[in-house]
Amino acid sequence: MNHGDVIKGDKLVLRGLKFHGFHGVKLEERKLGQKFLVDVDAWMDLQAAGKSDNLSDTISYTEIYRIVRDVVEGQPHNLLESVAQLIASTTLTKYPQISAVRVNVGKPHVAVQGPLDYLGVEILRFQNTNAHR
């Protein structure tokens, strides 16, 4: 599949997932933890599921939700980039039928002067380049 086709294709969408985790480089972040916001898009062909109306022809949203929860609530990482990468690589490894995944991880409570919704990262990873680097 062409990378351009993936962005235009079918996808599973998970928005506004909220978890408490202990990621960050500052001692306070590791000690107290904070809220993290996560969005995930997982591209895969949903045509069979659309025709059959059968869960076995797709991936349950709850399976991807569990991956995100386990990563965010699990082992602390210094960087959001690392959190997002682990979510993406775990999703692609566990579900080879997903051709690409976009993961957005945000921190709504950061030590920045001024109003904001959140600061974070967004990564896009493809199945054929799912490197565990």
Active site residues: 107
Contacts of 41 (CB under 8 A, 6+ apart): 11, 12, 13, 14, 101, 102
Q: Give the whole-angstrom CA distance, residue 112 versus residue 18.
A: 21
User: Residue 82: how many CB atoms within 10 A of its CB?
Assistant: 16
Sheet (strand 119-126) strand order: 11-21, 34-43, 100-107, 119-126
Q: At what angle do helices 80-94 and 61-72 cross, to 10 degrees?
A: 140
